[in-house]
Amino acid sequence: MNRRTFWGFTVPSVAVMLLLMVFPLLTTVWLGFQKLLLRDLNNPEWIGFDNYRDLLSDPEFWAAFRFTMVFVAIVVPVTMVMGLCTALLLDRVGRGRSIYLAALLLPFIVTPVVGSLVYKDLFERGGLLAWLWEVITDNPFAVNSGNVKWLIIIQAIWNVMPFAMITFFAGLQTLPEERVEAAAIDGANFWRNLWHVTLPHLRVLILFVGLITIMDMYRVYDQVFVWTGNRFTDAHTLQVYNVRIATAFDIGRLGKGNAMAVLTVIGIFVVLVPFLWRSYKDQIAERV
Amino acid sequence: MKRTTPLSRFGLHATLAVLVVWSVLPFLWTFQTSIKFTRDVAAKEPVLWGYETTANAYRAFWLDADDVNMWSVLLYIAVVAAICVALGQTGRRVRHGWPWFAAVALVIFAALWRFPKIWEANDEYDFLINSIVVTVLTMIISLSIGLLAGYGLARYTGISGAVILIIALGFRALPRTAFVLPYFFGAKEIDDWLTRTGVGSWDFPLIDFPGIDTLQILDTRLAIVLALVAVNQPFTIWMFRSFFMEVPKEIEEAAMMDGATRLQAFRKVIIPMMWPAIIATGLFTMLLAYNEYLFVRVLAPTEWTLPVAIVSLTGGESSRTITEAAAASVSITLPIVVVIILFQKHLVKGLGAGAVKG
């Protein structure tokens, strides 16, 4: 395919990405240096790095940062291990597999805000788990600033585990049967088999799922917002904090919100750049 | 050979059953809340069985009148579903099935259009329509431009292709706020310009949409669709590219040898092979658009889609009851469940394809 045809095919998509991704991103950077209130959008005022100084001295920013880090550090590994185990189990099921799959996929495909709402229902007054808690511990259960963090974490695991499961499951389908049989003939038991055959086969997928989950959990918004609203500021993630300072009624500071978005982007790129660099090398290698 | 003893098989199914319960318990709980009377929901100890069931909550959420027999609504939905299944099954059996699938779309459209004329629907019905319009438009635009770009990127070997792919991959990782705030600002600026110069209230004879008298961007479905198409592009082009890479070059080269242009070869030879890819990518695009919350909340203060409607209407200050919130959650989830059960195989394959190349 020559250059002209290539651009003919890609121009609509590239135009959309230039106009609605590259350009807005530059706008974000520019707005981050402005003093700009939501109720008075027509008078931006250049204030240099004041927004950033403001953010970095805000204890709520650091609270959001801390919680996001804890959140990612717990949710990602637990999700991966649980997803892998479930995928291994599913792989051994003969009949009824598609029923299990459909049921297990449900938390992943449901609208995130609705997923949080239904999960929250279990812990509301009169909810099933709140009642169980009361029966077991003899104390009434109420969502408060102390336990809401744990509820958010558990619900996030519930929400994203199916993604890891289904990806690993798809990977297991491509594992050549002969490799497993050869290992079995050599006398490998389940664990040795897992360690020497299955996991190496899934290596790329584990990296992929890990990266996607880190990205998605780092920028989580919908699910957490349903739990906290504008209360429980200790349990706000970076995105919830960001949307709150930018759009909260009457006090919305769009400039500061954009500065915060820039900080979040820088944060994710620290993780991402080595990976992007490697993908770029792969792409180039593919072309020679 | 996998050796299985009855005991290990029992253990396997038992473990999976526990996992299934953990996955679907919240949905089951919400479902049975939605069909209870308020007095049973408010009971101190949960009423798990033997309660009287009712569709009051569904009626209160969707309909204006409170004396509608909900069985008639259920019958309406069941008849429409039955017609769709019959048409769809026929379409799968015959060789060129697309007229049958088009008929399915037409039936659904007619059913949605007739519904508020038979029963008086609430505002929530408009939000459902918004959801459907946004989802369908996003899918059409996003898939068509993504399909072209994915093909170009799979076949072109220049460096610019690699650069586009890597930049798209970077965009895939960025948080929503980095886009939604400038979108909001930009849309606001354009709207201000439109009112200041009066362009917004010009009469455009050709694009005289019913019900729209001033041109604007904020608070329209168009704003949501544009935003969703944009953030979905990176994923779409990567996904399509990985599917196109599996189609050997020789196929379209043979067609071009026979005198077809590249565009003809693409349309007549490649696209018919790509239906599984289009369905898989379409499913993910559908989920993205149908589930979106933040963009809609910020860019469309009144033109809500269902997720925003549910969160806003069931929040603390609203007068909606717990049963109505539950009914809303069930109503919004059911369509996705149906689609996923119908297309489960494509979804799994799509995730596999995206992941293995990822």
B329-355, pLDDT tens digit by residue? 999 999 988 888 888 888 777 776 655
Q: Which of A35-44, A95-104, B75-84, B112-121 has the highest mean pLDDT?
A: B75-84
Q: Is the pLDDT of residue A29 over 70?
A: yes
Domains with residue ranges and CATH for chain B: 123-357 (1.10.3720.10)
A223 touches chain B (CB under 8 A): no
Per-residue pLDDT tens digits for A226-261: 898 878 888 899 999 999 988 876 677 889 999 999
B355 touches chain A (CB under 8 A): yes
Per-residue pLDDT tens digits for A202-226: 888 898 899 889 999 999 999 999 8
Q: Is the pLDDT of residue A55 over 80?
A: yes
Give residues 194 to 253 of B whose Cβ lies within 8 Å of A: 226-227, 229-231, 233-234, 237
What pLDDT sits at residue A48?
87
Average pLDDT, chain A: 89
Q: Is the pLDDT of residue B76 over 70?
A: yes
Q: Is the pLDDT of residue B283 over 70?
A: yes
Q: Is the pLDDT of residue B292 over 60?
A: yes
Range A176-193 average pLDDT: 78
What pLDDT sits at residue B357?
47
Cβ contact, residue pair B46, A117, below 8 Å: no
Domains with residue ranges and CATH for chain A: 60-287 (1.10.3720.10)
C-alpha radius of gyration, chain B, whole number: 24
Facing residue for B293 by CB, picked from A28, A112, A229: A112
Q: Is the pLDDT of residue A198 over 90?
A: no
Q: Which of A93-107, A117-131, B113-127, B128-142 has the highest mean pLDDT?
A: B128-142
What pLDDT sits at residue A200?
87
What pLDDT sits at residue B358?
42
β-partners of residue A40 are A37
Give the least confident one: A19-23, A80-84, B48-52, B58-62: B48-52
Chain B residues close to A262, C-beta within 8 Å: 178
What percent of chain A stands above pLDDT 90? 47
A57 compared with A247, residue with greater pLDDT: A57
A23 compared with A138, residue with greater pLDDT: A23
What pLDDT sits at residue A251?
74
Chain B residues close to A215, C-beta within 8 Å: 172-173
Choosing among A40, A118, A286, which should be mutated to test the B contact, i.e. which has the most B CBs within 10 A?
A: A118
Average pLDDT, chain B: 86
Per-residue pLDDT tens digits for A106-135: 999 899 999 999 998 888 877 888 888 888
What pLDDT sits at residue A224?
92
Give the least confident one: A219-223, A249-253, B26-30, B58-62: A249-253
What pLDDT sits at residue A26?
95
Rounded to a whole number of angstroms, the distance from the CA of A223 to the nearest CA of chain B is: 10
What percent of chain B stands above pLDDT 70? 92
B7 touches chain A (CB under 8 A): no
Angle of the B322-357 helix axis to the A97-109 helix axis, nearest 10 = 110
The pTM is what?
A: 0.90
A284 touches chain B (CB under 8 A): yes
Please, which pLDDT band fits residue B4 given cuts at 50, 70 and 90? low
Chain A residues close to B145, C-beta within 8 Å: 12-13, 16
What pLDDT sits at residue A283?
86
Please, which pLDDT band fits residue B2 given cuts at 50, 70 and 90? low
What pLDDT sits at residue B319?
59
What pLDDT sits at residue A213?
92
What pLDDT sits at residue B108?
92
What pLDDT sits at residue A157?
95
User: In chain B, whose CA is at the least distance from the CA of A86?
Assistant: B16
User: In chain A, whose CA is at the least distance from the CA of B13?
Assistant: A93
Please, which pLDDT band fits residue B19 given cuts at 50, 70 and 90? very high
Per-residue pLDDT tens digits for A138-184: 888 888 888 899 999 999 999 999 999 988 988 888 887 777 778 77
User: In chain B, whose CA is at the least distance from the CA of A107?
Assistant: B23
Cβ contact, residue pair B178, A265, below 8 Å: yes
Choosing among B167, B185, B225, which should be mutated to test the A contact, i.e. which has the most A CBs within 10 A?
A: B185
What pLDDT sits at residue A239?
93
B316 touches chain A (CB under 8 A): yes
Cβ contact, residue pair B336, A109, below 8 Å: yes
Q: Which of A186-195, B102-111, B265-274 has the highest mean pLDDT?
A: B102-111
The secondary structure of chain B, three-state, reads CCCCCHHHHHHHHHHHHHHHHHHHHHHHHHHHHHCCCHHHHCCCCCCCCCCCCCCHHHHHHHECCCCCCHHHHHHHHHHHHHHHHHHHHHHHHCCCCHHHHHHHHHHHHHHHHHHHHHCCECHHHHHHHHHHHHHHHHHHHHHHHHHHHHHHHHHCCCHHHHHHHHHHHHHHHCCCHHHHHHHHHHHHHHHHHHHHHCHHHCCCCCCCCCCCCCCCCCCCHHHHHHHHHHHHHHHHHHHHHHHHHCCCHHHHHHHHHCCCCHHHHHHHHHHHHCHHHHHHHHHHHHHHHHHCCHHHHHHCCCCCCHHHHHHHHHCCCCCCCHHHHHHHHHHHHHHHHHHHHHHHHHHHHHHHHHHHHC
Per-residue pLDDT tens digits for B185-224: 999 889 888 888 877 777 666 555 555 667 788 888 999 9
